[in-house]
Amino acid sequence: MPIVVQKYGGTSIGSIDRIKKVAARITATKAAGNDVVVIVSAMGETTDELIDLLKQVTDNPDPREYDMLLSTGEQVSAALVTMAIHSLGLKAVSLTGWQAGVHTEDIQSKARITHIHLDRINRELKEGKIVVVTGFQGIDSRGDITTIGRGGSDTSAVVIAAALEADVCEIYTDVDGVYTADPRIIKDAKKLKYVSYDEMLELASLGAQVLHPRSVECAKNYGLVIHLRSSMSDVEGTYIKEVSEMEKKDVVSGVAIDTNIAKVGILKVPDKPGIAAKLFRALGDEKINVDMIIQSIHSAGAMADMAFTVNKTDTKKAVDVTRKVARELGAEGVASDDNVAKVSIVGVGMISKPGVAGTMFDVLGRNGINIEMISTSEIRISCVIKADQAKKAMELLHKEFISGK
Ligand code: ADP
Ligand code: ASP
Ligand code: MG
Q: What is the pLDDT of residues 226-276, one digit of tens each?
A: 999 999 999 999 999 998 765 566 889 999 999 999 999 999 999 889 999
Ligand 2 binding pocket includes 392 (Cβ within 6 Å): no
Are 318 and 181 a contacting pair, CB within 8 Å? no
Q: What is the pLDDT of residue 246?
A: 57
Q: How far is the CA of 209 from the centre of ligand 3 (A)?
A: 6
> Ligand 1: which residues within 6 Å by Cβ?
9-12, 41, 151, 173-175, 178-179, 181-184, 208-210, 254
Q: Which residue has a Cα nearest atom 22 of ligand 1?
A: 182
Does 369 have pLDDT greater than 80? Answer: yes
Are 331 and 266 a contacting pair, CB within 8 Å? yes
| pTM of this structure | 0.94
Q: What is the pLDDT of residue 290?
A: 95
Neighbour count for residue 368 (Cβ, 10 Å): 8
Confidence category of residue 349, pLDDT binned at 50, 70, 90: confident
Average pLDDT, the chain: 95
Q: How many CA atoms does the CB half-sphere of 310 hold within 13 Å?
A: 24
Q: What is the pLDDT of residue 71?
A: 98
Q: What is the pLDDT of residues 287-344, one digit of tens each?
A: 899 999 999 888 777 899 999 999 998 999 999 999 999 999 999 999 999 999 999 9
Report the pLDDT averaged over residues 25-32: 97
Q: What is the pLDDT of residue 245?
A: 62
Q: What is the pLDDT of residue 192?
A: 95
Q: What is the pLDDT of residues 166-198, one digit of tens each?
A: 989 999 999 999 999 999 999 999 999 999 999
The backbone region for 402, taken as left when phi is positive above 0, alpha when psi lies in -120 to 50, beta otherwise, is alpha
